[in-house]
Structure 1
Amino acid sequence: MSFKERVVAHYNQQIQDKIDVFRDMISALTEDSKNDAKGSAGDKHETALSMMHIEQEKLNYKLQEFLESKTIFSNIDFNRISDKVVVGSLVQANENYFLISIALSKISIDGKTVFGISPQSPLAIKMLGNCIGFNFEINGSNYQIKQIVS
């Protein structure tokens, strides 16, 4: 498996793990509210149920965000080979690597730091459409595209 394939697989798993965590949390809250409904009555009970419902709505919203992210990530062609930076490219700029896909957390694979960045991010905007050797500046830092990993 190539470095880029490992990066994509790692991010894909990271997204799926988040989805699983949110589903588990929602399921646990649902179970708690069912159990609480059996044995309680009064204002405290209503407040507790209301708080659980609010928390469940927040978790459902987060779950939906990650499901949408997974859909977007899954629809990106990471196998596209181009001499220019495109969505789906893994780009080495200076010492760091940037997967142009969706905003994702920093990871380390084979001792290399990788950031998942959105095509709308200022960094991606500077890189998109450019080739190896392209120099640019962002927030006072100078960057050079050293390679587009295939």
Structure 2
Amino acid sequence: MELEIHSDVNIKAVKDSGFKKRLVDYCIENQQQSLKTIQAAMEDAEQEAAAYGCPKDLYDGFRNQQIRKRNMLSKQLEQTEINLRILRNIDFSRTPSTVSHGTLAITDQSCFFVAVGIGLIHFEEDEVAVFSTQVPVYLAIKDKKSGESFEINGKQYTIKQLI
């Protein structure tokens, strides 16, 4: 996952305890909207295939295209449902000492949230990179503590706060 973090973003060094909860709620809303969009696209594909009628032959290109589209959307739907479950299970009761799944790391230049693969989002007044433990970026930040530094794409970040 290639992250293009803009250094001109002004990060408030200290976040309140509700920032992470609001961020998770925002990500859940984002994923719920994605779920609705995918479901609508799946319904459209099914309706197009039904309106087309029976396959014209074994190698009916349009019908095969609709089947591939539905399968692709089905995989996206499944991943979005998994993302929602992961986001809903984030533990807000613990204050992390190191970066791991569910940690929001506030750095001198940006915010990094280890949860699910959403990407770079603008939330409240900050840019937040939301990514899973399955991407290479996570390896750079994994197990880091407040005050420690890490590098992503040749750029140095120092962790100011872990939530």
Q: Using a 3 Å threshold, how does the CA distance of structure 1 residues 108 and 42 change in structure 2: closer, same or farther?
A: closer
Which one of the candidate residues 4, 10, 27 is aligned to 2:43? 27
1:88 aligns with 2:102: yes
List gaps (5 residues or longer) in structure 2: 1-16
CA–CA separation in structure 1 for the residues paired with 2:55 and 2:151: 62
Which one of the candidate residues 125, 128, 138 is aligned to 1:111? 125
Q: Give the percent of matched residue pairs that are identical in Structure 1 and Structure 2.
A: 23
Q: How far has the Cα of 1:109 moved from its partner?
A: 1.9
Q: Using a 3 Å threshold, how does the CA distance of structure 1 residues 141 and 28 change in structure 2: closer, same or farther?
A: same
> Once the two structures are superposed, what CA deviation does each residue of 1:16-49 show, in whole Å capped at 9, x if it has no partner?
1111111111112212222221xx7845xx4332
Q: Using a 3 Å threshold, how does the CA distance of structure 1 residues 136 and 32 change in structure 2: closer, same or farther?
A: closer
CA–CA separation in structure 1 for the residues paired with 2:68 and 2:124: 42
Q: Using a 3 Å threshold, how does the CA distance of structure 1 residues 120 and 30 change in structure 2: closer, same or farther?
A: closer
Q: Which residue of 1 aligns with 2:67?
A: 53
CA–CA separation in structure 1 for the residues paired with 2:55 and 2:112: 54
CA–CA separation in structure 1 for the residues paired with 2:43 and 2:117: 27
Query: CA-atom RMSD, angstroms?
Result: 2.4
Runs of 4+ in 1 over 4 A off after TM superposition: 40-43
Q: Which has the higher contact order (CA 8 A, sep 6+)?
A: 2
- Which structure has more helix as a fraction of its residues? 1
CA–CA separation in structure 2 for the residues paired with 1:41 and 1:60: 21
Q: Which residue of 2 aligns with 1:13?
A: 29
Q: Using a 3 Å threshold, how does the CA distance of structure 1 residues 129 and 50 change in structure 2: closer, same or farther?
A: closer
Q: How many residues matched?
A: 146
Q: Using a 3 Å threshold, how does the CA distance of structure 1 residues 93 and 122 change in structure 2: closer, same or farther?
A: farther
CA–CA separation in structure 2 for the residues paired with 1:10 and 1:26: 24
Q: How far has the Cα of 1:6 moved from its partner?
A: 1.4
1:132 aligns with 2:146: yes
